[in-house]
Structure 1
């Protein structure tokens, strides 16, 4: 029985392309406006009206006219035949049904067709199927888009891999479980950056479960180390320490993972006020080389700047703001305007507040607030709220 959908293929392809770029309908409208020239810009409606038009196009209610079709092709860097005609109806169909991002620039038509057949019949899944999903994870792991948008893009990938590995042969099952764990870990991290701790913890549970099922102790340790970092500064330090110790003692971890686990343990000791233990773990972490282990079948990847951010966080917890300021200011030099930079700026504002440099703290907090709003860095906004709470307690101690 042939599967059908209730919208035209071109409408499904348009929606899949937008989702792959992590654009909202309003953002696609902005991209179209940016792609216009002087002769066409004045003919475009306002942003809200254009977003509404995108919604109607994706629903198949009407087809874009010549002007808007051209601007859509410019925004997506494609031509009208590929976007509106195309002969890859099956590819569009399975992307529409699964929600997996359609990354036309990363895969050939043959790779798309092969993956679609594997999703339709998991017995066809093979190493190339796993390689397809691994490419998606690597691509999105390097993007600095809004964390919530990244989580939304990668969640369907997890669901699809989970559906596949139950019915595939043993040879490919472990590879899919490893990818499932890595995907869940990345989704967890994005939810955390988006300020949603409960979802971050739920996805961390999925990452741990998949790692256990894969029987990969290194990946279990990686998931435990990541879990240790899913804690607010006001949370239970003992749990942070226990998770970090479990990560590095469960199995001899690769050097970068061992270093990160020790930094998370240092974070827990700092939260508990154990300064000596905190400094000891930070010193131990500095002795581990930060080079990837080529023997691992997956990438143990942490965001750039996280080691210094954790060290600075420990110093803030231990009331050494001057040292934290030195680290954070150095990290901000030349940093890209993404969600991780927004959080670094928020931590710097916190450090300046603890150093009683309120004007400097306020100035950086305003910059951090603006960047946080633009990049979807809700965790950075939560950090800024902590500064306000701390200042209020100092002025009104009772």
Structure 2
């Protein structure tokens, strides 16, 4: 492994922070939270702490005893693990590749063997595949900010792609399958982050890799997810065709079948076809209720997600009252995620279309707060479509 121009402890500090998806400012805040009341009052402002962390990560000075203790508390590691450590090679390869360092998830042996495979892809084996699979699973979460996930998943994708090109035949296809799943996840995050071009580009990559791997179920999954980019581009007919193509490619497990029918319903709603939209929504609900699903891919096909999509279809069809009935029966859950931000934005849209002024404004306010907190730019785009009635114009200015 080639050497780097910063001390190992500085590289480890940076890798630990990036693996947790923390900005330097966020790490500074966590250091403040980790301090006791007496020492907290003596700490500098968060902007200054963030600047100090930047200097430490560049190797320009080392934290003194006080700051070292706070860093260890923030990361949940001991001082030896952060500033001494025996796994120098592990720190170096994480620093060089940008692949997140996740203490406690892998053994020292697993880290060492993966690092050696990074240097010589021919050494990659099923353990290397499992290592990257575990990272991908760890970051498939709706409580993380989409833009942060994009940043952490790109180097993971680059590593998987290198193994797909250069590893030996026994594991090459496994890496190609992982590449398709990773690209699909990045596509979704671009979608949630308000980047339609990025969403389509990565969706194309996912479909291409799935087809190259000749895995019909994975190809069906990527096609069904592409159909979910309904607010990115394409005609309603194209969305319907993608959803139908997904079901034609393979015998889908129930929840994947529900996903495909969800997105076909969106296409029909955008085309104004009420009967076909309702039919597909009913079918998707039936598939969602079937037990024993062993779908191998991660996506949100919960009853809450189904209700959100039904609300969106009814809004697109101009049937706001029906959307409100659904909302009142099953409102979005409380957790602050990009998914709940979009659900709230759809609620605000439905209330506005039904001339429920006060409820529209209040819901839009909630959606805005959650969207800003979670980085849900897709939700912000939905809010921009909400036409709050004139009587609420004064309140609307508060939301801008």
**TM score, norm. by length of structure 2:** 0.93
Q: Over residues 218-262 of structure 1, what are the superposed CA-to-partner deviations in whole Å (9 max), with x where a residue is unaligned?
A: 100100110111121885211111111111112222221111111
Cα deviation code 1:15-53 (max 9, x no counterpart): 110011111111111111111111210111111111111
Aligned CA distance change for structure 1 residues 348 and 208 (closer, same or farther; 3 Å):
same
Q: Contact 2:99–2:152 at 8 Å: present in 1 too?
A: yes
Contact 1:332 1:341 in 2 (8 A): no
Gap change, CA 1:286 and 1:11, over 3 Å in 2: same
Corresponding residue for residue 79 of structure 1 = 78
Paired with 2:328 and 2:77, the residues of 1 have a C-alpha distance of: 41
Instruction: Please give the alpha-carbon distance, in whole angstroms, between the structure 2 residues aligned to 1:123 and 1:326.
Output: 58
Q: Residues 391 and 122 from structure 1, CA distance in 2 versus in 1: closer, same or farther, beyond 3 angstroms?
A: farther
TM-score, with normalisation over the residues of structure 1? 0.93
Deviation of 1:330 after TM superposition, in Å, equals 4.5
Residue aligning to 2:306: 307
Structural mapping, 1:76-115, within 5 Å: 76-115=75-114
Alignment of 1:237-386 (within 5 A): 237-288=236-287, 289=289, 291=291, 293-294=293-294, 298-302=296-300, 304=302, 305-332=304-331, 334-386=333-385
Q: What's the counterpart of residue 61 of structure 1?
A: 60
* Alpha carbons of structure 1 residues 352 and 103: separation in structure 2 relative to 1, 3 Å: same
For 2:330 and 2:54, locate their aligned partners in 1 and report how far apart those are by CA, in whole Å: 41
Q: Distance in 2 between matches of 1:117 and 1:256?
A: 39
Q: Distance in 2 between matches of 1:244 and 1:382?
A: 24
Q: Judging changes above 3 Å, is the alpha-carbon distance between structure 1 residues 333 and 300 closer, same or farther for their aligned structure 2 residues?
A: closer
Greater Cα shift, 134-143 or 98-107: 134-143
Query: Cα distance 1:332–1:47, how it changes in 2: closer, same or farther (>3 A)?
Result: farther
Structure 1: segments with no counterpart, 5+ residues = none
- What whole-Å deviation, never above 9, does each CA across 1:124-182 have from its counterpart, x for those lacking one? 11111111111111111035111110111111101100001112222211211111111
Is the deviation greater in 300-309 or in 154-163?
A: 300-309
- Name the residue aligned to 1:52: 51
Give the number of equivalent residue pairs: 389
Counterpart Cα distance in 2 of 1:332 and 1:375: 19
Quote the Cα distance in structure 2 between the aligned partners of 1:301 and 1:234: 21
The superposition leaves residues 270-325 of structure 1 with CA deviations (integer Å, 9 ceiling, x where unpaired) of: 0010001111111111221455643x6x3243364332221111111112222322
- Relative to structure 1, the CA distance from residue 358 to residue 41 in structure 2 (aligned partners, 3 Å threshold; closer, same or farther) is same
Q: Confirm or deny: 8 A CA contact 2:230 2:267 kept in the other structure.
A: no
Q: How far apart, in 1, do the equivalents of 2:73 and 2:301 lie?
A: 32
- 2:139 match: secondary structure: helix
Aligned to 1:33: 32
Alignment partner, residue 192 of structure 1 = 191
- Contact 1:256–1:292 at 8 Å: present in 2 too? no
User: 2:207–2:223: 8 Å Cα contact kept in structure 1?
Assistant: yes
Matches within 5 A, 1:214-229: 214-229=213-228
Q: Answer yes or no: is the 8 Å Cα contact 1:257–1:300 preserved in 2.
A: no
Residues 116, 332 of structure 1: alpha-carbon distance in 2 compared, 3 angstrom cutoff? farther
Q: Which runs of 5+ in 2 are unaligned?
A: 394-400
Per the TM alignment, residue 327 of structure 1 is displaced from its structure 2 partner at its CA by 2.9
The answer on whether the counterparts of 1:259 and 1:284 sit within 8 Å (CA) in structure 2 is: yes
Q: Greater shift after overlay, 40-49 or 246-255?
A: 246-255
Q: 1:261 to 1:383 in 2, by over 3 A?
A: same
Q: Using the alignment, how far apart are the partners of 2:233 and 2:214 within structure 1?
A: 34
Q: 1:307 to 1:290 in 2, by over 3 A?
A: farther
Secondary structure in 2 matching 1:61: coil
Is 1:228–1:243's contact at 8 Å kept on the other side of the alignment?
Answer: yes
CA contact (8 A) 1:345 1:364 kept: yes
Aligned CA-pair RMSD? 1.8
CA distance 1:346–1:333, shift in 2 (3 Å): closer
SS of the equivalent of 2:386 reads helix
Match of 2:137 in 1: 138
CA contact (8 A) 1:349 1:362 kept: yes
Cα–Cα, structure 1 residues 145 and 269, in superposed 2: closer, same or farther, change >3 Å?
Answer: same
Q: 1:137 to 1:331 in 2, by over 3 A?
A: farther
